Amino acid sequence: MARTLTLMFRRDPSKDRLEEKIPFEGYNILWPDGTAAELAIDALCKHGQRLLGLGKYLQGCNEKMIDMKFFPLKGKDDPLTRIPGHRVRRFYLHKLDNSGRVHFFDGTPTSVVTVIGRDEIEVVDWLGLGTMTENEIQWFDLAATPSEADFRVELDEVKEATPLTDVKSYLETTWDKTLAESSWQRR
């Protein structure tokens, strides 16, 4: 059963950096209501940007609301989860002490480390970190889709309301007349 976490990623160039010759692009990570999410991660490499549809995939926008779907697996050899039209990647979470580091499929560690007590409890629960035992590995597929909760509208042009000229008054249609007369007779 998938667990979904919805977050807003807002581009913040002041957090761009190089780590071990790998470029990271900075983001403010927010809850859907706009409050800051307390997470240690504030930048993503090109793989993270591509998976989440950020970076060049923002196509001129500076923010994007994303539903991140976590599909826990029994092992690395489970069939890959498929969501038509969306990227899905396989990772594993390795728990040590009260933290969990996300690793790529090939075992390469990512910079994503979640710590119980430091990071938001919703993220810890989403990963299932609190239920894992010491040194446990949890394989999972991660998919990212544009959020269904993102109701923001692009304001490229201001739309002006135009009055309708062919609007009939309440008692001009046969049905409305019948309804009005029957309501009046009941009084």
AA letter at 174? T
Residue 74 lies in a domain: yes
- The candidate with the shortest Cα–Cα distance to 12, out of 52, 50, 41, is 41
Residue 159 lies in a domain: no
Residue 179 lies in a domain: no
Residue 186 lies in a domain: no
Residue 49 lies in a domain: yes
Q: How many residues does the chain have?
A: 187
- 10-residue block means of pLDDT along the chain (187 residues)? 93 94 95 93 92 82 92 96 90 97 95 95 96 97 85 47 46 48 45
**SS (HEC) of 88-157:** EEEEEEEEECCEEEEEECCCCEEEEEEECCCCCHHHHHHHCHHHCCCCCEEEEEEEEEECCCCCCCCCCC
Cα(41)–Cα(30) distance, rounded to whole angstroms? 12
Contact call for residues 39 and 120 (beta carbons, < 8 A): yes
Predicted local confidence at residue 173, as pLDDT: 47
Give the structural domain span for 96. 3-146
Residue 85 lies in a domain: yes
Q: Name the domain count of the chain.
A: 1
Contact call for residues 64 and 53 (beta carbons, < 8 A): yes
AA letter at 7? L
pLDDT tens-digit series, residues 15-30: 999 999 999 999 999 9
Residue 97 lies in a domain: yes
Residue 178 lies in a domain: no
Predicted local confidence at residue 59, as pLDDT: 79
Cα(104)–Cα(60) distance, rounded to whole angstroms? 29
